[in-house]
């Protein structure tokens, strides 16, 4: 998945539209290789839960459901590059 351009486009689109983005285990490594890399590097291991970006070794379903219930997260850090 880390080499699939469609995966990276999907991640960037979700971020761009303020949608929750969650990745656990090896999926978190895919996020760290995406356009969100700089944002995640500054955030640390837990992502930015207050901005709807969740990363961890194990799934945290209560946190993910809470992020989904918010629907959109505005005011996220800007990305240096994001596809249209």
pLDDT at 83 over 60: no
H/E element, 5: helix 5-16
Query: What are the strands of the beta sheet with 53-56, ordered from one edge?
Result: 21-24, 53-56, 47-48
Q: What is the dihedral of CA 48, 54, 57, 62, to 10 degrees?
A: 120
pTM of the complete model: 0.76
pLDDT, tens digit, 9 for 90 and up, residues 44-59: 666 788 888 888 888 8
pLDDT tens digits along 62-79:
999 999 999 899 888 777
pLDDT tens column, 13-26? 888 889 998 888 88
The domain spans of the chain are 5-70
Residues 83, 12: Cα–Cα separation, whole Å: 7
């Amino acid at each position: 998945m880390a080499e699939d351009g469609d995966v990276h486009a999907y991640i960037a689109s979700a971020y761009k539209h303020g949608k929750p983005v969650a990745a656990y285990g090896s999926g978190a490594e895919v996020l760290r290789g995406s356009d969100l890399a700089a944002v995640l590097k500054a955030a640390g291991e837990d992502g930015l839960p207050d901005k709807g970006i969740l990363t961890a070794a194990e799934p945290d379903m209560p946190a993910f459901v809470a992020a989904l219930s918010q629907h959109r997260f505005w005011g996220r850090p800007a990305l240096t590059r994001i596809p249209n």
